[in-house]
Structure 1
Amino acid sequence: MPVGTEEAAELEAALTAAEAAAPVPPLTRLAPILTGVTARLDTGRGFCLLRGLPFDRHGAAAAEAALLALGQHLGKPLDGNGSPVARLTGPLPVEDGHGSRPPNFHIEACDAIALLCLANAPDSPPHILVSAGAVHNEVMRRDRAALAELYRPAALLEDGELVERAVFTMTEGAFAARYTRAAVEAAAAAPLPGAPPPSAGLRPAFDLLDTVCAEPALLLKIEPRPGDLLLFNPHLVWKRRTLVDSPADAPEAPQEFRRLRITMAHSRRTVAEPG
């Protein structure tokens, strides 16, 4: 989704102000575009790539301030480890969905994730997205019994606490999906009082889910350029992790990204996960 010259100039002014430690001016020209982005994340394809923005021209600190200002137009940014904006670097080995380990997806408890590219080496691995809805439908086509298992809540560990959640949910007409295999297996490996064991059919259902998530026909590969902003709804689009959280004072890496997690007024997370 390319951004126009006037909108890019508005962001340039915001970045210049942030670089000078001045207040970031309102993003009035970008606001209608961001409204459209919100709709696309919630009721559209679940992701959006904004291209043509000058995020990478004024230093990391200015880019982080402008990203935070932009995120406030989409919803409420979430704090994490003392700052809403996290530094991610790479590259990391890319899981192919086969072998002993399942693919590693983003499963943050938020409604949108913004990934800002500040640097990306030419030989860096692509970022891979898969539609949770497309995965759901392919599992249904291959094995309806396995799909039923993935709709049943299973005990899992989340932030050290025991909760129960299904991979797929449909509440009040709102579809949501979270990939939970690692958390379910962690709960099964260290059972807590009151934790029900996973059903016998859950492991084969997860195996099928992993197979489907590796199907080339379902994968979208994106190669971000410096200045690109990728936004996605982790309840509709699953993105494989190719980056790791890094300290702010760590050396520069071939891949430099910034992540912002956002909650929105209408949340599939809260609809699908009451309480």
Structure 2
Amino acid sequence: MSSTTRPRPRPVPQTGPAVWTASDLTAADWMVPVGVEEAEELEAVLTATEAAAPVPPLTRLAPILADVVARLDTGRGFCLLRGLPFDRHGAAAAEAALLALGEQIGKPLNSSAAPVARLTGPAPAEGAAGSGPPRFHIEACDVIALLCLANGPEAPAHILVSAGAVHNEVMRRDRAALGELYTPAPLLENGEPVERAVFTMTEGAFAARYTRHAVEEAATLPQPGAPPLSAGLRPAFDLLDSVCAEPALMLKLEPRPGDLLLFNPHIVWKRRTLAETPADAPDAPQEFRRLRIAMEHSRRTVAEPG
């Protein structure tokens, strides 16, 4: 891990469509309705998958997916597709269709087991209602696609926050704390030590990744040559957690079976409400499939793996 001192960028307020609060948005800002012909095209993909036949091309869905890419990169940073028949042909076919859509958006990333992960919930409570600070879907990818296969009425809402709006609120309250969040800190990622700041600017593009638990875990391990955490970092984390819990910033979504939620984790943070489970685990109140995708125009910095 490098201990070289890097110059901090001068923080400025973030602007643009990706800087939003819950009250700024209506469903029309994030919902992407799908027409009958597009749904029939995916139905053909699902049917072919079940029959182990060649998967037909997604010709009619291509313009919708191009719009999705623009929304994720330069728009609100997230969207939800509704009206596709993902939930009508079983989990295996849904996973194959999700992978086919992911290949139209970018490059699906492999995990240790398979590209598509099974997530069920509810996960153990965290944050203000649980035992520690909130944890978010912060992963080395450009898009996270969450496909809902089951979501009972008792399931908790899925919470999104705009990282740019969080950044601006921290700036308003405490500029010194914001400076701490622009300073790279040692953390553990996939068991390996790296350095990363919460907020970064790379070639004019804003990106944000918050993994407090990974920073605090790294601070408890002996790491020769690693710089110590600054005295102001934990208070800055506390302020960040407080801002992330502001009701005005939190958009609550309740996906329906068949819905596909996509978000860019560099500009939209989603609280974890689900846990990764084996494919043969018993049914749960919530069942989702997750696909991680890399896009051609990435906000990931050179300090990050993947």
Distance 1:55 1:263, change over 3 A: same
Asked if the contact 1:162–1:195 (Cα under 8 Å) also holds between the matched residues in 2, the reply is: no
Cα offset, 1:191, TM superposition: 2.8
Q: How far, CA to CA, are the matches of 2:128 and 2:115 in structure 1? A: 30
Quick one: distance in 2 between partners of 1:224 and 1:79? 25
Report the equivalent of 1:112: 143
Deviation at 1:6, TM superposition (A): 0.8
Instruction: Note if 1:141 corresponds to 2:168.
Output: no
Structure 2 Cα separation of the partners of residues 135 and 211 of structure 1: 10
Is 1:38 aligned to residue 73 of structure 2? no
CA distance in 2, matches of 1:97, 1:268: 30
Aligned residue for 1:193, secondary structure, equals coil
What residue in structure 1 maps to residue 155 of structure 2?
A: 124
The equivalent of 1:208 in structure 2 is 239
TM (normalized to structure 2)? 0.87
Q: Would the alpha carbon gap of residues 175 and 70 (structure 1) be closer, same or farther in structure 2, given more than 3 Å must change?
A: same
Q: In the alignment, is residue 26 of structure 1 matched against residue 45 of structure 2?
A: no
Work out whether residues 15 and 58 of structure 1, in 8 Å CA contact, stay in contact via their aligned partners in 2.
Answer: yes
Asked if structure 2 preserves the Cα contact closer than 8 Å seen for 1:174 and 1:272, the reply is no
CA distance in 1 between counterparts of 2:203 and 2:180 reads 20
**1:180 pairs with 2:211:** yes
**Secondary structure at the residue paired with 1:145?**
helix
Q: 1:2 aligns with which of 29, 33, 36?
A: 33
RMSD of Structure 2 on Structure 1 (CA): 1.5
What are the equivalent positions in structure 2 for 1:34-183 lying under 5 Å apart? 34-97=65-128, 101-183=132-214
Structure 2: how far apart are the matches of 1:106 and 1:253?
A: 20
Matched with 1:219 is 250
Q: Distance in 1 between matches of 2:304 and 2:114?
A: 26
Secondary structure at 2:87's aligned position in 1?
A: helix
Which amino acid letter does the alignment assign opposite residue 242 of structure 2?
Answer: T
User: C-alpha displacement at 1:159, in angstroms?
Assistant: 1.1
**How many equivalent residue pairs?**
275
Shift of 1:21: 1.6
Per-residue deviation, residues 215-260 of structure 1 (Å, max 9, x unmatched)? 0000000000000000000000000000111111111111110000
Question: Shift of residue 115 of structure 1?
Answer: 0.2
2:146, 2:289 within 8 Å by CA — same for their partners in 1? yes
Give the unaligned 5+ runs of structure 1: none
The structure-2 alpha-carbon separation of the partners of 1:206 and 1:28, relative to structure 1 and needing over 3 Å to count, comes to same
Q: Conserved in 2, the CA contact under 8 Å of 1:150 and 1:202?
A: yes
C-alpha contact (below 8 Å) 2:127/2:135 kept by paired residues: no
1:117–1:228 contact (8 Å) kept in structure 2: yes
Q: TM-score, normalised by structure 1?
A: 0.97
Residues 136 and 211 in structure 2, CA contact (< 8 A), matched pair in contact too? no
In 1: Cα distance, 2:251 partner to 2:216 partner: 27
- 1:7 Cα deviation after fit: 0.5
Other structure's SS at 1:155 match: strand
1:100 shift after superposition: 5.4
